[in-house]
Amino acid sequence: MSQPTPDLDHVDVTYVANLARIELSAAETEKFQGELDDVLAYIHQLNELDLEGIEPMSHPHPRENVLREDVPVEAPDRELLLNNAPARVQDLIRVPQMMEDA
């Protein structure tokens, strides 16, 4: 799906739902359209702010390069992890075919 021309007042719900990997029904798309446009209309209030020269704050207490010693630590049990997959085949997780046959 091609990227739509930026429109700051309306969410292109169909385009965004595809990016988010959610298959919406027509009714859902219409409902979310109205609700999300309402939220956008509200958050446009941020345009009132003069944000020139302000550093974006992505984290409450910024920290860099948190490292640990390169030593093995206990990891969750593999069996327990695999058992949570919806479709397990031996030690693999089954998914629909991804590539055409060669």
Helices (H), 20-98: 26-43, 78-83
Nearer to another protein, 49 or 89 (CB): 49
Q: 46, 71, 89, 102: which one contacts another protein (CB under 8 A)?
A: 46
Q: How far apart are CA 37 and CA 16, in angstroms?
A: 13
User: What is the smallest separation between the CB atom of 73 and another protein, expressed in angstroms?
Assistant: 8
Q: At residue 9, what is the residue type?
A: D
Return the number of the residue (51 or 102) whose C-beta is nearest another protein. 51
Name the token pair of 6.
């930026």
Question: Residue 3 interacts with another protein (CB under 8 A)?
Answer: yes
According to the binding rule CB under 8 A, does residue 92 interact with another protein?
no
Query: Using CB atoms within 10 A of its CB, is residue 81 exposed (0-12), middle (13-18) or buried (19+)?
Result: exposed
Q: Does 2 bind another protein (CB under 8 A)?
A: no
Length of the chain in residues, anyone?
Answer: 102
Question: Is residue 72 a contact residue for another protein (CB under 8 A)?
Answer: no
Residue among 60 and 72 whose Cβ is closer to another protein:
60
